[in-house]
Structure 1
């Protein structure tokens, strides 16, 4: 245990890679929540295991309309594997019952209704003792093409919707985190993301969820060339210039960051359906990966003086859209857990157990 002296931030796996991008072909059906929990609980590196999972509040994993009895069953499934639940994803998109945050009154109402349901579930899971920390994850549910039809108006609409979502979150003592994915209008570039957070202006209720795979593409200006920090043909061997670029990016977004996803990216876009053209998640040791995971995570998890921030009580691995045959291999999750441990070792802290 001494080789891994820190016990914070807690190490979580994401359950939603069992759903996102699944079910479109026979080789990659949806992986049930129970199976994702089994894969997570089975991983072990140097005597250490995952501490918890972050979950998707959508069928077929956890219905956004779950009854208390159904939530108790989920809590029992998680507890029985010695895991906790952390952050939860609100299904705010139209196909899952939500609506665009920049849409008309009916769409905005649908968006906010999903936020309320997610906050209520988040609170209930806390009351059940299975969710010690975490946020409710949201995005604008607005395609970039639709946002660009009228950027000023749409950005204002999204900010107003997010302000209303903050009011809901306050009722349930929850915090919302907007994830920086380039496929969502108003959040598609780092400058737009900062602008949106500042317009909402409720840091106690709305913060930023940084995913290392998605935020890497902020540097290249996909969907927003005017906000690129690095050129499209950047030589990724230039570690010094990459570090300077990450410093500029994180200097702007780190003050807002309240939730963190560890991930790898090969500097290309990938996706399916409404998540098209977003950051490609790679396995941690992918030879095409452009991130030094443990080192580059420090740009987010340490302040300008190099001190560990201790803002995120847990960090989560996000690896969407891996083929099922990869996800069913135990070594996949051991390598992921090892990458998570490397981040905890480098930027974590120790809290004694009372």
Structure 2
């Protein structure tokens, strides 16, 4: 058994939502929460196991309208597997009962109601003792195509909606993390993401959720070619150019980052089911992966002086839109856990 005890923090979480995201009638069937929890709890590398799970507050996993009894049963279900809950995702999108953050007053009200429900669940899970840390994740629930019709006006609307969402979160003792992803209008470019965070200007409550797969697409200018940091004909063997671009990206967003996903990407976009195309998540050992996971994670987990930021107590693996065959293979989760352990060994703290 190898010694991985030097850095017990951050805690290592798996995400349950890959069992739901991109699944459904027009894709593969969802994988139920119990199965996702079982796969997470069974993974083990050198005696190290996952500490917890991050959840999607959406059926068939966790209803956004869960009762107190439902949440108590959820807590018991997770604790029985020696896991805890970290960050949760509020279903703010129109198909799930939410609405666009830059839409009509009614749509923005629906968005805020989902944030209110999500923060309420997050708070109750804390009170039940199953959720010692984590944030509530949101996005703009709008696409770049709609946003581009009035960039500054729509950006201002999203910022105003997020300010109201921040007030809701603060009332619940929660923090919100805005997910940087190319499929969300106003958040589809690294420059626009920074602009939005600055417009809201609530760093005590609203921060950034960085996913290594999604943020890689920021470098390439998908949906925002004016903000690309790598040339169109970029040679992936050009480490110096990549380093410079990645440093620009992480220097801009790391100060805002309060939630972090370890992930791999092959430099392409992908979508399944009803999910829009976004950065393709790959397995950590995928030969087409463009990221040195351990090295690049350090750009997010360490500050400009090379010291651990210690800005969150857990990190999570995200592998959205993996096939069910891949996810039902126990070796998948051992490989993922191994990558997470390697990141913590290199950049964690005690």
What band does the TM-score fall into relative to the shorter chain?
over 0.9
Verify the 8 A CA contact 2:22 2:274 in the aligned structure 1: no
| Matched ranges for 1:42-121 at <5 A | 42-121=42-121
**SS of the residue 2:305 aligns to:** coil
| Structure 1 stretch displaced more, 2-11 or 340-349 | 2-11
Q: Give distance in 2, aligned partners of 1:243 and 1:329.
A: 34
Alignment match, 1:342: 342
**SS of the residue 1:305 aligns to:** coil
RMSD between superposed Cα atoms in Å: 1.0
Alignment match, 1:19: 20
Q: Give distance in 2, aligned partners of 1:272 and 1:254.
A: 29
Alignment match, 2:181: 181
1:248 equivalenced with 2:248 (yes/no): yes
- The structure 1 segments of at least 4 consecutive aligned residues displaced by more than 6 Å after TM superposition are none
Q: Deviations over 1:282-328 (max 9, x none)?
A: 00010000000011000000000001111121000000111111101
**SS of the residue 1:275 aligns to:** coil
After TM superposition, the score normalised by the length of structure 2 is 0.98
Residue segments in structure 2 that go unaligned for 5+ positions in a row: none
| Structure 1 stretch displaced more, 91-100 or 143-152 | 143-152
Q: Give distance in 2, aligned partners of 1:276 and 1:108.
A: 21
1:315 equivalenced with 2:315 (yes/no): yes
Q: Give distance in 2, aligned partners of 1:24 and 1:282.
A: 23
After TM superposition, the score normalised by the length of structure 1 is 0.97
Alignment match, 1:38: 38
Alignment match, 1:207: 207
Residue segments in structure 1 that go unaligned for 5+ positions in a row: none
Q: Give distance in 1, aligned partners of 2:4 and 2:199.
A: 44
Verify the 8 A CA contact 1:92 1:114 in the aligned structure 2: yes
- The alpha-carbon distance between structure 1 residues 180 and 196, as it changes in their structure 2 partners (threshold 3 A), is same
Q: Give distance in 2, aligned partners of 1:320 and 1:9.
A: 22
Q: Give distance in 1, aligned partners of 2:252 and 2:129.
A: 35
Q: Give distance in 1, aligned partners of 2:233 and 2:292.
A: 19
Q: Give distance in 1, aligned partners of 2:233 and 2:288.
A: 15
| 1:271 Cα deviation from its structure 2 partner | 1.3
Verify the 8 A CA contact 1:308 1:347 in the aligned structure 2: yes
**SS of the residue 1:280 aligns to:** strand
